[in-house]
């Protein structure tokens, strides 16, 4: 899209499931209330650092956020998905 590669929404969901599986191997998870907040777009000349943050909530649930920042050192994190 406009000379940028855009990471698909299914990939963002996979990042969320992978983070949960890494935290608690062997358990099954269901993503509820997935919100795509902004596209995760990259260009050939700009790298991005991507992180998935897990925040525990009551009843054994997790709030999860996928965010990225410019790898060149820009301090602002952009949120791409949450569930």
Residue 67 sits at the vertex; the CA angle it makes with 65 and 71, to the nearest 5 degrees, is 155
Q: Is the pTM of this model over 0.95?
A: no
For residue range 33-78, what is the model confidence (pLDDT) as tens digits?
A: 999 999 998 888 878 899 999 999 998 889 999 999 988 877 799 9
What's the half-sphere exposure (Cβ side, CA atoms, 13 Å) at 14? 5
What's the CA gap between 12 and 17, in Å, rounded? 9
* Residue whose tokens read 């943050």: 53
What's the CA gap between 8 and 38, in Å, rounded? 11
Tokens representing 13 are 């969901």
């Amino acid at each position: 899209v406009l000379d940028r590669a855009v990471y698909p929404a299914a990939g963002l969901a996979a990042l969320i499931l992978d983070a949960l599986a890494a935290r608690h191997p062997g358990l099954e998870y269901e993503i509820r209330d997935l919100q795509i907040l902004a596209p995760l777009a990259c260009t050939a000349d700009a790298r991005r650092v991507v992180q998935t943050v897990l925040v525990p909530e009551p009843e054994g649930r997790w709030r999860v956020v996928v965010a990225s920042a410019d790898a060149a050192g820009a301090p602002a994190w952009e949120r791409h998905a949450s569930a």
